[in-house]
């Protein structure tokens, strides 16, 4: 990759400068980096060598040191090897955030195998795909999820089934007897049955079941083959949902994940003293790369939450003096709305940011006014190992994707002509960088469609519409498929949602299309009201406010109040679910 400072500009470069963002680039950082030429496993091994007695993971008061995490991962890797897992084999990992997720993830890598992270919200019919598509024979899961996985396995032909399951209980990672003791971090009451119950083993005919504790006790690292994975070897196979069809596996090598782990650490000005709130799901690319791998590479401490709970998050940030928190904006909105918010101490936070949706301007301004925190938004996809764009920590723009990340280039093209559009005009964002995935597992046609040869380089087509401003910052408009055509006027839902967040009664809003006899399509808002506004604010109040604050073609003609918006395991609002339900009604 040529250096923009020394390369000869092309005609395209002259027309549209692609180094504008270097004016706001952190002066302490190079534009490109050379990541370690080692596997991801070595990051844990090196941190354990440097900081053996340092806290790596914290889970409901239980502290795991780096040496302990390394030892447990090696023991589990040995058990996986004894089960027949060989280099390049895919192993399913299906659980919520917990220390076992981290240990199992690194154990799979130590065994020279490939991690297949699965959304724990999936049910049996969905789970079948995650067994058969990657040709997995071994899965590691939790006791609460094991019955669903066993059910999926039983529905498959014998030749396509899992051969082994390793099953853990969440309470294997914390002291049940300490619950309620003075000073202990208590499991939220709503989670008591889920996290503290010792579930029975599932009926799994033809599939061997091994308890987590037994897997760690019997695994013999001395019989484990040498770690031989190279940066070019496949490391993780996360799945991504498209607009149609079954989820596709994104092939990421050790090198593609390593780049963003190292770049993320540098970008966030990280040190080994970081204390990171790990609440973004680790099965999701953001949690896996920007939280887990970035932290382990830097020797930081992860304070782990299995799911989002605003009261627990507030207590953990206060008690453990959390310094870094990657999140979904909806989490911040929820925490700020807590009736106990005044009791939380957020003064230790030095960096907060995230993606998945734009942070409402009013919320970002409150964070700055009260805590001096700039919410740094970022952007990326499963295919780009999380960030392809990020806001420089000291030069953030609100409701903005940021600038192309370390070692990364981005362009905006016309999705039809595939030609670059003028600066400031809307088009499809395409991305080139070392974090890009290798392709879709077993889907060469889809892989070919996902990339474009542009300026002699292989750019990934994001499928997202946006534009670049005069300083090189990128802004997203919406997905190519998510657009409302109202009497010929194009309405972009993300823009309407951002405006609606300014209404004092609105906690969350999702814009979808609904049928209209005259306009063809019109705008509908699905709204969650703030607690204090319920019963006092009507649908017409919202419509009238929108009419006063938006262009005539843009404001919602229909408003529906709901108690909560559907969200994915990573916390993103599932607008497609709402849209499909609305389309079905029509």
Domain count, the chain: 2
Comparing CA positions, the residue from 508, 171, 452, 180 lying closest to residue 306 is 171
Q: What is the pLDDT of residue 3?
A: 43
Q: Which domain holds residue 144?
A: 41-307
Average pLDDT of the chain is: 91
Whether 26 is in a domain gets the answer no
pLDDT confidence tier of residue 543, bands split at 50, 70 and 90: very high
Confidence of residue 245 (pLDDT cuts 50, 70, 90): low
- Give the domain-ending residue among 307, 342, 363: 307
Taking the C-alpha atoms of residue 106 and residue 404, their distance in angstroms, rounded to an integer, is 29
C-alpha torsion sign, points 431, 577, 308, 335 = positive
> With 60 as the cut, is the pLDDT of residue 13 above it?
no
Final residue in a domain of this structure, among 277, 307, 337: 307
Transcribe 297-366 into DSSP letters: HHT-EEEE-SS--HHHHHHHHHHHT--EEEE-HHHHHHHHT-TTGGG---TT--EEEE-SSPPPHHHHHH
- Answer for the pair 389, 260: CB distance below 8 angstroms, yes or no: no
- The count of other CB atoms within 10 Å of the CB of residue 234 is 20
Q: How confident is the model at residue 207 (pLDDT cuts 50, 70, 90)?
A: very high
Residue pair 250/286 in contact (Cβ under 8 Å)? The answer is no
The confidence band for 8, taking pLDDT boundaries of 50, 70 and 90, is: very low
Q: Which of 326, 371, 314 is nearest to 347 (CA)?
A: 371
Q: What pLDDT digit, counting tens, does each position of 289-323 carry?
A: 999 999 999 999 999 999 999 999 999 999 999 99
Residues 379 and 473 sit within 8 Å (Cβ to Cβ):
no
C-alpha distances in Å from residue 17, one per residue of 9, 155, 254, 395, 414: 9, 55, 32, 20, 17
Would residue 499 count as lying in a domain?
yes
Task: Determine the pLDDT at residue 7.
Answer: 38
Rounded CA gap, 295 and 264, in Å? Answer: 9
**Can you give the pLDDT at residue 11?**
37
Crossing angle (nearest 10°) for helices 41-50 and 66-82 = 140
Confirm if 50 and 25 have CB atoms less than 8 A apart. no
CATH (domain of 548):
3.30.300.30
Token reading at 436:
């890009």
Mean pLDDT across 406-422: 96
The yes-or-no verdict on residue 518 having pLDDT over 80 is no
Task: Say if residue 569's pLDDT is above 90.
Answer: no
Percent of the chain with pLDDT over 90: 74
pLDDT at residue 252 in the model: 98
pTM for the model: 0.83
DSSP for 187-233?
A: PPGGGHHHHH--PPPP--TT-EEEEHHHHHHH--GGGSPPP---TTS
Give the per-residue pLDDT at 28.
94
Tell me phi and psi for residue 565, to 5 degrees.
Answer: -90, 145
Q: Is the pLDDT of residue 243 over 50?
A: no
- Taking phi over 0 as left and psi of -120 to 50 as alpha, with beta for the rest, 344 belongs to beta
Confidence of residue 182 (pLDDT cuts 50, 70, 90): low
Of 307, 333, 365, the last residue of a domain is 307
**CATH number (domain holding residue 98):** 3.40.50.980
* 400 within 8 A of 376, measured Cβ to Cβ: no
Q: Quick check: is 320 in a domain?
A: no
Within a domain: 357: no
Residue-level pLDDT at 183: 65
pLDDT at 490: 66
**123 or 178, which is more confident:** 123
Residue 316 lies in a domain: no
Label residue 125 by pLDDT band (50, 70, 90).
Answer: confident
CA distance 530 to 510: 15
| Domain contains 189 | yes
In a domain, 552, yes or no: yes
Separation between Cα atoms, residue 265 and residue 35, nearest integer Å: 11
pLDDT for the residue 1: 40
Q: How confident is the model at residue 488 (pLDDT cuts 50, 70, 90)?
A: low
Give me the pLDDT at residue 10, please: 39
Q: Is residue 333 part of a domain?
A: no
3-state helix, strand, coil in the chain (%, to 5): 35, 25, 40
């Amino acid at each position: 990759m040529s250096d923009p400072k020394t390369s000869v500009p092309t005609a395209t470069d002259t027309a549209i400068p692609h180094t504008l963002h270097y004016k706001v680039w952190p002066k302490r950082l190079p534009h490109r980096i050379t990541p370690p030429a080692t596997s991801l496993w070595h990051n844990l091994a090196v941190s354990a060598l440097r900081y053996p007695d340092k806290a790596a993971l914290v889970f409901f008061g239980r502290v795991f040191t780096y040496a302990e995490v390394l030892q447990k991962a090696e023991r589990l890797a040995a058990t996986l090897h004894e089960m027949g897992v060989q280099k390049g084999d895919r192993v399913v990992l299906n659980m919520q955030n917990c220390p076992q997720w981290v240990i199992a993830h690194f154990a799979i890598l130590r065994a020279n195998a490939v991690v297949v992270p699965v959304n724990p919200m999936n049910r049996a019919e969905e789970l079948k795909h995650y067994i058969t598509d990657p040709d997995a024979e071994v899965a590691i899961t939790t006791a609460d999820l094991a019955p669903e996985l066993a059910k999926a396995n039983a529905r498959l032909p014998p030749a396509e089934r899992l051969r082994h399951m390793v099953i853990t209980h969440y309470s294997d990672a914390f002291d049940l007897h300490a619950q309620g003791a003075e000073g202990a971090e208590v499991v939220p009451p709503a989670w008591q049955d889920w996290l503290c119950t010792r579930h029975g083993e599932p009926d799994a005919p033809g599939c061997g079941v091994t308890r987590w504790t037994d897997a760690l006790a019997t695994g013999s690292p001395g019989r484990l083959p040498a770690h031989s994975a190279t940066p070019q070897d496949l490391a993780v196979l996360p799945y991504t949902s498209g607009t149609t069809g079954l989820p596709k596996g994104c092939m990421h090598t050790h090198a593609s994940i390593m780049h963003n782990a190292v770049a993320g650490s540098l970008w966030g000005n990280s040190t080994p003293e970081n204390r990171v709130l790990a609440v973004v799901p680790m099965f999701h690319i953001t949690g896996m790369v920007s939280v887990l791998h970035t932290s382990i590479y830097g020797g930081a401490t992860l304070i782990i939450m299995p799911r989002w709970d605003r009261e627990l998050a507030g207590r953990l940030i206060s008690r453990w003096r959390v310094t870094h928190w990657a999140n979904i904006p909806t989490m911040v909105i929820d925490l700020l709305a807590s009736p106990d918010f005044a009791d939380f101490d957020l003064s230790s936070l030095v960096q907060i940011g995230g993606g998945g949706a734009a942070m409402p301007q009013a919320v970002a301004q409150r964070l700055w006014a009260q805590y001096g925190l700039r919410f740094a938004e970022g952007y990326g996809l499963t295919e780009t190992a999380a960030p392809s764009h990020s806001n420089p920590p000291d030069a953030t723009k609100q409701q903005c994707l940021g600038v192309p990340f370390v070692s990364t280039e981005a362009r905006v093209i016309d999705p039809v002509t595939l030609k670059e559009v003028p600066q400031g005009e809307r088009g499809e964002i395409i991305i080139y960088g070392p974090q890009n995935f290798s392709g879709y597992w077993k889907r060469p046609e889809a892989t070919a469609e996902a990339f474009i040869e542009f300026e002699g380089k292989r750019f990934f087509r994001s499928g997202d519409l946006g534009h670049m401003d005069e300083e090189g910052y990128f802004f997203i408009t919406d997905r190519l498929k998510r657009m409302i055509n109202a009497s010929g006027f194009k309405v972009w839902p993300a823009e309407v949602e951002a405006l609606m967040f300014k209404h004092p009664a609105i906690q969350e809003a999702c814009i979808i299309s609904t049928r209209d006899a005259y306009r063809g399509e019109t705008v509908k808002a699905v709204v969650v009201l703030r607690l204090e506004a319920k019963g006092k604010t009507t649908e017409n109040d919202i419509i009238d406010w929108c009419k006063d604050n938006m262009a005539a073609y843009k404001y919602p003609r229909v408003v529906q109040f709901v108690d909560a918006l559907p969200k994915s395991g990573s916390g993103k609002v599932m607008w497609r679910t709402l849209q499909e339900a609305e389309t079905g009604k029509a």
